A and B are shown apart, each in its own frame.
Chain A
Amino acid sequence: MAMIFILLPLAVLTAGVFLALFIWAVRTGQFDDLETPPVRILNDDADRPLPTGDVETRETIVVSTRDC
């Protein structure tokens, strides 16, 4: 039973490591937006076609002076 004198501090130490990870996650803003990430994961569905890449199409941005 004397093991408990080592195991308990060890357990608390492990908890401390996870707590430190949590604090790091909060500080880097990973909890700032809880709405977009769950949606973002769905967007992998958009069978990504290869980027067209050709410069010509990019230059043909149609600009209208009227909106709807």
Chain B
Amino acid sequence: MSHADRLPAPAAPAAPAAAMSAACAHCGLDVPASEQRTHATQQFCCRGCAQVYQLLHDWGFDGYYRLLERQGGRGVPAKVSGRKYAELDDPALLKIHAEPCGHDRLRLRLYLEGVHCAACVWLVEELPRAVDGLASVRLNLATHVAEVEWAPSAISLSRIAHALDTIGYTPHLAQDDRLEAARRHNDRALLIKAGVAFAAAMNIMFIHLALYAGELNDISPEFARFFRLMSLGLSLPVMLFSAQPFFRTAWAGLRQRVPHIDLPVALALLGAFGYSAYATLLGHGPVYFDSLAGLVALLLGARYLQQRAQRLALERTSVLRHVAFAEFARRLDAEGLATEVAVTSLIPGDKVEVRSGELLPGDGIVLHGNSQLDQAVLTGEATPLPVGPGDWVVAGATNLGARLVVQIRAVGPNSRVGGLLRLVDEAMRGRAPMVQFTDRISKAFVWGVLGLATALGVGVLLGSGGDVGLALQQVVALLVVTCPCALGLATPVTFTSALARAARAGIFLKNPESLELTRQVDTLLLDKTGTLTEGKLRLVATQGMPKALDLALALEAESAHPIALAFRRAQRTPLGSVHRLEAIREHPGQGIEGLVDGVHVAVGNEALLRTVGVAPTAAHQGQAEIWSAQGLSPLFIAVAGQVVAQAALGDPLRTDAKAALKALTNAGLTLHIVSGDHPAVVARVARELGLTSDHAHGGMTPEAKRTFVADLKAARTQLPHTGKLMMVGDGVNDAAALALADVGVAMQGGSGASVAAADVVLTRPGLMPLVELWRGSHRVMNVIHRNLAFSLIYNLAGAGLTIAGLVGPILAAALMPLSSLTVILSSVLGRTFQTSAAASRTSGGRSWP
């Protein structure tokens, strides 16, 4: 690591050199002591940051740091994979994903990992200045999807992807393009319908204002007739174009014999329009064009907002989905040269190379190399699995150690992960459609209104001695006044504001129904690895000479081994002096040895002690056994041929786990831990969290987890008055259970499969967002109930006035916006979810995504 020392000083704030704590010049985070360089103008927390900083300076993009500072933004550590992205140049792939736009131009959507603030937008969109052939980049800050336009004759897509990668944004092909395009199309269509309705409603209202004023001042009949005809003309596009969705859903509901909330709306629209048109042509009688146009405009507006909020949440989660899957493989040809290819083009028999930190692209057998695999997302085991030649490895596992060469035996649907994904699909397909709360209410509502209207019509007919015109007029007035405008607005508006607030609090809801279900949850199933714990190895206990730990740290400082990473994470103070390291040797699956300042130091497990010929004492072995029994991995530190210290590696609980679980238990929820890890480890975690052992279920395969959820659900249908079941997880092994549970919650940083299967996706680390979800669901449903009460009161009052014969078009026109306004205010002002500022204070766990 050298270029930190020779960097010129651009506009970024210079970090105090070699202080006890320094901020990274790129991302602003504290620089770990092991990375601090004396006599350097800038300090960096990692290689990625240093590299990106240098590159941005070379390219003249220092403005990024100025923007970041001016806007008070916070950087995130840069992740540079250094990949070539050769698989993106596959013509077949380009044909599917890229669309031509103009002469020698292609357009394609890339999801960028690492986008976090406004300055990112600037940086990414300025990239064409530094990359010839790249025509333009447009980044969407909400979805982190960049639309890239380039000239294929001048530059290949792989070079563009590589350039994005080198400045810290890992590109992924944005998938589900067609679905998203369809959703975007729906959004636009609805917005146009709402726009037409609003434009017509505003104009009709002005015309009606003249009519109402004219009624008081004896308007001349030819003007009145002209105004009414204009209104009729303006309400035609509303009825024929904008109101289509109401008629369509009302009709569909009728055919399925489910009275939808749109049925009373459609009835009111038809009644009001039919009668008003008849009155206009006849020349006398009340007209309701203003009420009906306003009704359509308001309802469509609310629906548009809800649809949009939901689309954003879905787009965010759908792009998160494929990040955790292997997208490429390094296929080795006969000469042993690696080329990057798309995972889909792998066939059984291919040899692939898997480097440190990369995901295995398929199931297969290790041919060369010794390493350790992180299979936590697949099995729930926190401890890395040592593998060597001849071992069977599965797709989706992360290679933590040295390079492996694997012969692929199964890919895609035939692999273990493929099988698990099939389970998820089955569970998703088997889900019963949720009957919305408003649909249940609207059933009673429709019958009530229809009954009242009939009774009123018959009553007026009898009372007036057969005056059909008067009876019709009264019935239409009733339909208009009782039209469930507020009822139809209440739920979408509340959900829209709740979805937006939840998103800011790091909670993405794929469908609003899950809020209703969350409120009824009484049993919570939690995965362990990656959910209750961080899913990362850390140094959790040490024993022995502190000096020996220092030496171990010095030795591990230069290694990329998972144990070394755990050591570095634990390191709090800078190294006292620079150590001289010599003759470093890593023993895969065992540990590391070498000379530190001329003294032999070895750090590793018992096997390493045997390799280097050191015998541990009985006391040391005893301690190691205690740690092993607790599910921790014991390490020995030998200095000059003698074991002088010990350390234990484990996957500790998230910092907020205890507080979050306590809050949920206090709220009356029953908690279960369902984990694929060893039962002893699960039992220890349960004890630490204050759960009894019969609530800790270890050693569960993904299938067992699914069955556990299914059995629990089946048992509950027998009992009266039971709540719903919520499952929280992060791994592929949790995905089927997530899909099957009433509400599935995927943790922040969870695997793609869990994100796809869950109803709710957390984008903030830690378990506190889960508590916020539970509390928020209660507040949202309270607001919805309050709104329903408001709108029912308005409707009842309106119906009473109509029956008393007091309601004309003016009162109807005044009542509707008044009730709608009440409901909208009540929804927007309702405190539903804590926003990010408050939530971030309480969240714990990992400090960045």
- The residue in chain A whose Cβ has the minimal distance to the Cβ of B11 is A47
B66 touching A49, Cβ below 8 Å: no
C-alpha spacing A50/B256, complex, angstroms: 65
User: Given A62-B51, A63-B82, are A47 and B77 also a contact pair (CB < 8 Å)?
Assistant: no
Residues of B within 8 A of A66 (CB): 47, 82, 356-357, 560
- Residues 107-129 of B contacting A (Cβ, < 8 Å): 118-119, 121-122, 125, 129
When each residue 196-234 of chain B gets 1 if its CB lies under 8 Å from chain A and 0 otherwise, what string results? Answer: 100100110001000000000000000100110010001
User: Given A26-B191, A45-B66, A61-B162, are A35 and B140 also a contact pair (CB < 8 Å)?
Assistant: yes
A67 touching B191, Cβ below 8 Å: no
Residues of B within 8 A of A36 (CB): 121, 138-142
- Residues 1-33 of A contacting B (Cβ, < 8 Å): 1, 4-5, 8-9, 11-12, 15-16, 18-19, 22-23, 26-27, 29, 31-33
A39 touching B195, Cβ below 8 Å: no
- Residues 497-545 of B contacting A (Cβ, < 8 Å): none
C-alpha spacing A57/B48, complex, angstroms: 18
C-alpha spacing A40/B119, complex, angstroms: 9
- The B interface, classified by DSSP as helix, strand, loop or mixed, is helix
A5 touching B59, Cβ below 8 Å: no
Interface residues of B, count at CB 8 A: 62
Tell me if B495 is interfacial: C-beta within 8 Å of chain A: no
C-alpha spacing A48/B66, complex, angstroms: 11
B121 touching A45, Cβ below 8 Å: no
C-alpha spacing A5/B223, complex, angstroms: 8
When each residue 124-148 of chain B gets 1 if its CB lies under 8 Å from chain A and 0 otherwise, what string results? Answer: 0100011100000011111100000
Tell me if B248 is interfacial: C-beta within 8 Å of chain A: no
Residues of B within 8 A of A61 (CB): 55, 162-163, 166
Instruction: Choose among B139, B184, B199, B357 the residue that contacts A67 (Cβ–Cβ < 8 A).
Output: B357
Residues of B within 8 A of A16 (CB): 199
C-alpha spacing A21/B466, complex, angstroms: 51
A39 touching B118, Cβ below 8 Å: yes
Tell me if B63 is interfacial: C-beta within 8 Å of chain A: yes
When each residue 31-68 of chain A gets 1 if its CB lies under 8 Å from chain B and 0 otherwise, what string results? Answer: 11101100110110111111110000110111111111
B47 touching A23, Cβ below 8 Å: no
A12 touching B55, Cβ below 8 Å: no
When each residue 670-687 of chain B gets 1 if its CB lies under 8 Å from chain A and 0 otherwise, what string results? Answer: 000000000000000000
B141 touching A47, Cβ below 8 Å: no
B130 touching A51, Cβ below 8 Å: yes
Instruction: Choose among B45, B71, B142, B188 the residue that contacts A35 (Cβ–Cβ < 8 A).
Output: B142
B60 touching A19, Cβ below 8 Å: no
C-alpha spacing A18/B46, complex, angstroms: 54
Residues of B within 8 A of A27 (CB): 188, 192
Min distance, Cβ A60 to any Cβ of chain B, angstroms: 7
B45 touching A68, Cβ below 8 Å: yes
- The residue in chain B whose Cβ has the minimal distance to the Cβ of A48 is B63
C-alpha spacing A26/B118, complex, angstroms: 24
B226 touching A5, Cβ below 8 Å: yes
A47 touching B46, Cβ below 8 Å: no
Residues of B within 8 A of A11 (CB): 203
Residues of B within 8 A of A15 (CB): 199, 202-203
A42 touching B71, Cβ below 8 Å: yes
B62 touching A49, Cβ below 8 Å: yes
Residues of B within 8 A of A49 (CB): 60, 62-63
Min distance, Cβ B244 to any Cβ of chain A, angstroms: 16
A50 touching B357, Cβ below 8 Å: no
Tell me if B80 is interfacial: C-beta within 8 Å of chain A: yes
Residues of A within 8 A of B3 (CB): 62
User: Given A12-B230, A52-B59, are A64 and B82 also a contact pair (CB < 8 Å)?
Assistant: yes
Among B77, B79, B141, the most chain A Cβ lie within 10 Å of the Cβ of B141
Residues of B within 8 A of A45 (CB): 66-67, 70
Tell me if B656 is interfacial: C-beta within 8 Å of chain A: no
A23 touching B195, Cβ below 8 Å: yes
User: Given A51-B60, A67-B357, A68-B47, are A43 and B54 also a contact pair (CB < 8 Å)?
Assistant: no
Residues of B within 8 A of A40 (CB): 118, 121-122, 125
Residues of B within 8 A of A5 (CB): 226
Residues of B within 8 A of A1 (CB): 223
B80 touching A64, Cβ below 8 Å: yes
A33 touching B195, Cβ below 8 Å: no
C-alpha spacing A9/B229, complex, angstroms: 11
B118 touching A47, Cβ below 8 Å: no
- The residue in chain B whose Cβ has the minimal distance to the Cβ of A56 is B58
- The residue in chain A whose Cβ has the minimal distance to the Cβ of B51 is A62
- The residue in chain B whose Cβ has the minimal distance to the Cβ of A63 is B82
C-alpha spacing A63/B191, complex, angstroms: 46
A65 touching B82, Cβ below 8 Å: yes
Min distance, Cβ A44 to any Cβ of chain B, angstroms: 9
C-alpha spacing A23/B355, complex, angstroms: 52
- Residues 345-376 of B contacting A (Cβ, < 8 Å): 355-357
Min distance, Cβ B185 to any Cβ of chain A, angstroms: 10
- The residue in chain A whose Cβ has the minimal distance to the Cβ of B226 is A5
Tell me if B49 is interfacial: C-beta within 8 Å of chain A: yes
A62 touching B230, Cβ below 8 Å: no
Min distance, Cβ B55 to any Cβ of chain A, angstroms: 7
B59 touching A62, Cβ below 8 Å: no
Residues of B within 8 A of A22 (CB): 192, 195, 199
- The residue in chain B whose Cβ has the minimal distance to the Cβ of A57 is B58
C-alpha spacing A35/B500, complex, angstroms: 12
User: Given A51-B129, A63-B82, are A68 and B77 also a contact pair (CB < 8 Å)?
Assistant: yes
B141 touching A64, Cβ below 8 Å: no
A33 touching B142, Cβ below 8 Å: yes
- Residues 448-500 of B contacting A (Cβ, < 8 Å): none
- The residue in chain A whose Cβ has the minimal distance to the Cβ of B81 is A67
User: Given A43-B67, A57-B58, A58-B130, are A31 and B230 also a contact pair (CB < 8 Å)?
Assistant: no
C-alpha spacing A58/B49, complex, angstroms: 18
- The residue in chain A whose Cβ has the minimal distance to the Cβ of B64 is A46
User: Given A8-B207, A67-B79, are A39 and B141 also a contact pair (CB < 8 Å)?
Assistant: yes
C-alpha spacing A35/B79, complex, angstroms: 25
- Residues 792-817 of B contacting A (Cβ, < 8 Å): none
- The residue in chain B whose Cβ has the minimal distance to the Cβ of A62 is B51
Min distance, Cβ A1 to any Cβ of chain B, angstroms: 7
Residues of A within 8 A of B64 (CB): 46
Min distance, Cβ B226 to any Cβ of chain A, angstroms: 6
Min distance, Cβ A21 to any Cβ of chain B, angstroms: 10
A19 touching B81, Cβ below 8 Å: no
Min distance, Cβ A36 to any Cβ of chain B, angstroms: 4
C-alpha spacing A50/B60, complex, angstroms: 8
When each residue 417-453 of chain B gets 1 if its CB lies under 8 Å from chain A and 0 otherwise, what string results? Answer: 0000000000000000000000000000000000000
C-alpha spacing A19/B121, complex, angstroms: 31
Residues of B within 8 A of A51 (CB): 60, 129-130
Residues of B within 8 A of A50 (CB): 60
Residues of A within 8 A of B (CB): 1, 4-5, 8-9, 11-12, 15-16, 18-19, 22-23, 26-27, 29, 31-33, 35-36, 39-40, 42-43, 45-52, 57-58, 60-68
Contacts A33-B140, A58-B131 known; list 7 others, CB within 8 Å: A19-B199, A36-B138, A43-B122, A52-B58, A58-B58, A64-B82, A67-B81
Cβ contacts A to B, 16 pairs, < 8 Å: A11-B203, A12-B230, A35-B141, A39-B121, A42-B67, A43-B67, A43-B122, A46-B63, A49-B60, A61-B166, A62-B54, A64-B47, A64-B82, A65-B355, A67-B82, A68-B49
- Across the A-B interface, the 7 shortest Cβ-Cβ residue pairs: A68-B46, A46-B63, A43-B122, A39-B118, A35-B142, A52-B60, A57-B58
